[in-house]
Amino acid sequence: MREAAKRRRARLIGAGAITLTASLVLSGCTLIQELQTPDEQQTNEEETDGDSDGAVGIPESVAPGGEDFYEQGIEWGECPEEYAAADDTAECAYVDAPLNWADPGSDEPIELALVKLPATGGNSQGALFTNPGGPGAGGVDFVAQSGDYMFSSELRENFDIVGWDPRGVGYSSSVYCVDDAGMDDYLYGVPDGYADMTEDELLAYQQAKAAAFGDSCYENTGPLLEYVDTKSTVQDLDMLRYVVGEGSALNYFGFSYGTDIGAQYIDMFPEQVGRVVLDGATDPTVPMFDVILDQQEKFSDSIRAYLEDCLTAAECPFDQAGGVDGAIDEISDIMNDVDEATPRASDGRVFTSSIIYQAIVAGMYDETSWQYVTQAFVQWEHNKDSSIFFALTDSYNGRDPSGTYYSNQEEAFTAINCLDYPLVTDKATIKEFNQKLQDVTLFQDPMSEAQLEVGDVTCENWPVQSRVTEQQPVVGAGAAPVLVVATTNDPATPLKWAEAVAEQLESASLLVYEGEGHIAYDEGSECVIGTVDDYLITGNLPEGDINC
């Protein structure tokens, strides 16, 4: 019992990064290279009135003063030195957005950073906007670093691929909380003597840490922290649609949380919808507690699939005779031993069961990463070397080997989620959630009565409370046809979410890819890529739902 309690305590400390495993996609996957652009700058000062073919005007719903932001010009030019890209044709720009779309003229505007990979063909269909997920992942680095291989040559030929960092993220006006050392303490910190602390002491420690982090975020970010919600980002996107696309309808390819931006756009601005693909869809009607439960259930399924595959290989570090359940017990024993010994990595960070679990979760996003989870256990078994566990967790958290966080994704993730979801404080609801969580999460020891009443410590102590009281379905009445894409065994955005979104949206078709991992378009399936590309390029969709 004592060892189990210690393991629970270690996980309690790291819970913020582990349980909210929502969809950080394609981060840290490419080498950073210097971004160069053509010397020629293009300025778009053309105004459209919505009467030309394929053009739509400024929505009537925009508050007075908001039209000024729609009518601003944009200058594409050389990208700042701190950007990085594999494609030297990339062009960059900044545009202004109101801090508060409900009252556009009340505050100083914020800045939104954009990058564009011009179409390689001679006759571009215009901008194809994209967002890689998160919340907190930036579209600038995604397009600059990954756009040339993430998107097919056919899409690159037909569209200018445009990424932007949403408000609060990356190179745009962004959330800033603490420096690198502060992030290490927030994400990895373990108090001295934590194994001997009581549950009340540990909870007080976690609450104090969450409150201090939130206070730093508000002090260092200012009023922007109140306006980084997804609905504000959706309004930004419509303004960008008009500014960048010269008033044309929105063509958009969203991944993971980027589908939430896209789905809410379809619902808020159906008349502006062009061709929209939502790959790895999130369901906006699912409460945060259910998001966590759904994800943990699917991650548990993925871990079991990984272990079943591992046990067929000679280099698998787990006893084949025990099967998958035996391997789960072995991992639990390793977690217990680690929490008992509290070893330190070479950089001084404490190695806990939380690090092990988050490393496993990080490896489940793509089947090709399973091998690294195996290597992590082999290296620990033979050399008591935790470096691969930390490497997987660091990659998930956006931390490089030098201890530098190469984006603000963790800070933005927290800030956006705490605004997007209603805060649950009812003790009975929290207890019911924790009881269900024990049933769906692997390596989870029984919680005490006190632990069962611990809710969302981070958002409870966040300085800006959510104004959302009820989550609404997306409908998009009158929107042009859109395509929702899902993977059958996606652990981060379960298939049932995509099915729900496709059902909610009046004009949606559903494409389901049979396979493992998060996101279907990058799995190399000719069926998926061909269907998506044909729709985006020509607007054609097969009748009914599609299976690949």
Q: What is the pLDDT of residue 256?
A: 96
* Both structure tokens of 539: 């607007």
Pairing of strands 160-164, 110-117: antiparallel
Q: What is the pLDDT of residues 94-145, one digit of tens each?
A: 999 999 999 999 999 999 999 999 999 988 999 999 999 999 999 999 999 8
Angle at 277 between CA 537 and CA 363, to 5 degrees: 120
pTM: 0.88
Cα→Cα distances 361→76, 168, 354, 522, Å: 39, 26, 11, 19
Q: What is the pLDDT of residue 55?
A: 65
Third-level CATH fold of 1-548: Rossmann fold (3.40.50)
- Determine what percent of the chain is predicted with pLDDT higher than 70: 89
CA distance 297 to 287: 15
CA distance 454 to 448: 10
Q: What is the pLDDT of residues 184-223, one digit of tens each?
A: 999 999 988 777 788 888 889 999 999 999 999 999 999 9
Mean pLDDT of the chain: 88
The sign one gets for the Cα dihedral 283, 284, 285, 288 is: positive
Average pLDDT over residues 228-244: 98
Q: What is the pLDDT of residue 11?
A: 39
Q: Are 83 and 171 in contact (CB under 8 A)?
A: yes
* Both structure tokens of 210: 């969450």
Q: Highest mean pLDDT range out of 16-25, 37-46, 287-296? A: 287-296
Q: Which of 545, 531, 476, 26 is nearest to 277 (CA)?
A: 531
CA distance 439 to 4: 16
For residue 312, give the H/E element and its range. Answer: none
**How far is C-alpha 113 from the geometric centre of its chain's CA atoms?**
18
**With 50 as the cut, is the pLDDT of residue 174 above it?**
yes
**With 80 as the cut, is the pLDDT of residue 16 above it?**
no
